[in-house]
């Protein structure tokens, strides 16, 4: 599949979009360029570069030099933003949107804190903070991602971009309602996530078709099997990202690593839509993390966690099904940490006789945070143990991401990595539990 590359001026001149530049006949019979808006920024620097590549002669041979000059200015800007640096400029804009929106929310906290915090937050079982904190940081992240899709992703048609934005709505609305205290049950949020995935499957026509594993691929070739598996995978990932959103910087940091990994992998195989979109997601998350880590001035919230999980899950699927060099199991390996924590939570709750959707305080990040307080920091140091937990866990969560990138075209090695990391994850959790219990008994004995 051929993709438009950088500054191929001949193609670009032939494909100037009609919503920005149209040709009409003047009274003299010569072509005139009408466009909206008239953009002239950076033209002083770009025009000499364009002149050396034939753009000057193409336009200045026309009989209306003023209008043709304005058309060249527009083309300058279009080339500037559609060239090799387009992902950088788009990521910069997305980062600015996210950071400014989150900063505004933090700065006006006193105005909306009664609405954007849940009154029972500080007494929740999984609470890891000590003061009421707005939970709507995900709103800024989602708006920034949508802006990136609307501004234009190379080789990603606008109709598909709008459909993908529409797919975000069910899971985002359900999460935002929960953030604002309207009590949407975990099952309701899961159904909303499933509905979001159904929009992609049935309106965009995409689902998981290969994993890189021969036996599994035979089953995935059968659509009535592959479609439910796809919906289950993407819905589970939405919930998994929400489960690891328990301490400052952890969920945002893990999502940032996965987004950058997807960007690298898609760049390596030349698939621009996922590369640029992944960089935009990473930029939006970076703008949020400026205010979330380490002080936790604002939280991602369910709306952000669920929606980011949905976006990353589908970016991984888009990459795997459109690139023969990328194995689906390698993409799945990127998401190992949230998936492993989710499976552990389900097993732990079932083993203790509780419902799988009943919250507890035994997630990995909660175990590490309590271990730091019991063994090292002491009580009353939550403002230190909370961000320090993310610092401890980020390298561990990043190891499967790195393995997924290294083995992106080696499905057997990626599958073996999943098994190895699963064993190590369970062993580390058991050792951590034993260490915390031993430290608690030792502290009790000293007291």
User: Angle at Cα 163 formed by Cα 269 and Cα 310, nearest 5°?
Assistant: 65
* 31 SS3 class: strand
User: Angle at Cα 429 formed by Cα 317 and Cα 396, nearest 5°?
Assistant: 50
- Is 409 one of the annotated binding-site residues? no
129: Cβ–Cβ under 8 A, 6 or more apart, which residues?
A: 121, 122, 296, 299, 382, 386
Please state, in angstroms and rounded to a whole number, the distance separating the CA atoms of residues 339 and 416: 16
- Is 242 one of the annotated binding-site residues? yes
**Angle of helix 86-107 relative to helix 137-151, nearest 10 degrees?**
150
Please state, in angstroms and rounded to a whole number, the distance separating the CA atoms of residues 143 and 307: 11
**Spatial CA neighbour of 72 closest among 83, 86, 85, 57:** 57
Please state, in angstroms and rounded to a whole number, the distance separating the CA atoms of residues 239 and 390: 19
Please state, in angstroms and rounded to a whole number, the distance separating the CA atoms of residues 168 and 309: 10
Copy the structure tokens of residue 201: 């499957």
First to last CA, the chain: 69
Q: Residues annotated as binding site for Mg(2+)?
A: 242, 302
Q: Which residues belong to the annotated binding site?
A: 242, 302
């Amino acid at each position: 599949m051929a993709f438009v590359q950088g500054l191929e001026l001949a193609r670009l001149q032939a494909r100037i979009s009609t919503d920005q530049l149209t040709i009409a006949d003047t009274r003299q019979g010569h072509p005139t360029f009408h466009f909206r808006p008239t953009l002239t920024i950076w033209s002083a620097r770009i025009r000499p570069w364009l002149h050396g590549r034939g753009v000057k002669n193409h336009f200045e041979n026309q009989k209306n030099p003023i209008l043709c000059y304005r058309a060249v200015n527009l083309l300058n800007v279009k080339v500037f933003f559609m060239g090799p640096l387009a992902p950088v400029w788009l990521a910069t804009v997305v980062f600015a949107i996210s950071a400014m929106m989150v900063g505004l929310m933090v700065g006006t906290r006193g105005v909306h804190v009664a609405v954007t915090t849940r009154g029972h937050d500080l007494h929740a079982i999984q609470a890891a903070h000590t003061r009421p904190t707005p939970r709507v940081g995900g709103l800024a992240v989602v708006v920034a991602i949508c802006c990136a899709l609307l501004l234009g992703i190379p080789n990603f048609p606008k109709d598909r971009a709008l459909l993908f934005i529409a797919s975000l709505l069910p899971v985002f609305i359900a999460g935002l309602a929960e953030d604002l205290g309207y009590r949407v049950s975990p099952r309701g949020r899961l159904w909303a996530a499933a509905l979001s995935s159904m929009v992609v499957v049935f309106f965009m026509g995409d689902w998981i078709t290969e994993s890189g594993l021969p036996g599994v691929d035979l089953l995935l070739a059968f659509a009535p099997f592959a479609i439910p598996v796809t919906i289950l995978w993407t819905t589970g990932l939405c919930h998994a990202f929400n489960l690891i959103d328990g301490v400052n910087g952890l969920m945002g940091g893990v999502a940032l690593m996965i987004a950058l990994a997807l960007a690298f992998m898609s760049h390596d195989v030349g698939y621009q839509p996922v590369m640029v979109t992944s960089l935009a997601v990473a930029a939006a998350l970076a703008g949020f993390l400026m205010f979330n880590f380490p002080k936790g001035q604002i939280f991602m919230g369910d709306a952000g966690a669920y929606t980011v999980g949905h976006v990353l899950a589908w970016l991984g699927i888009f990459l795997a099904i459109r690139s023969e060099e990328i194995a689906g199991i390698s993409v799945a390996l990127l998401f190992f940490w949230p998936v492993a924590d989710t499976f552990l939570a389900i097993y732990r709750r079932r083993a203790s006789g509780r419902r799988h959707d009943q919250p507890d305080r035994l997630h990995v990040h909660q175990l590490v945070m309590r271990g730091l307080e019991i063994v090292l920091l002491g009580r009353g140091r939550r403002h230190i143990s909370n961000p320090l937990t993310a610092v401890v866990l980020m390298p561990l969560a990043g190891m499967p991401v790195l393995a997924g990138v290294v083995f992106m075209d080696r499905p057997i090695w990626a599958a073996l990595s999943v098994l190895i990391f699963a064993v190590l994850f369970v062993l580390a959790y058991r050792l951590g539990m034993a260490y915390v219990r031993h430290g608690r008994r030792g502290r009790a004995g000293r007291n």
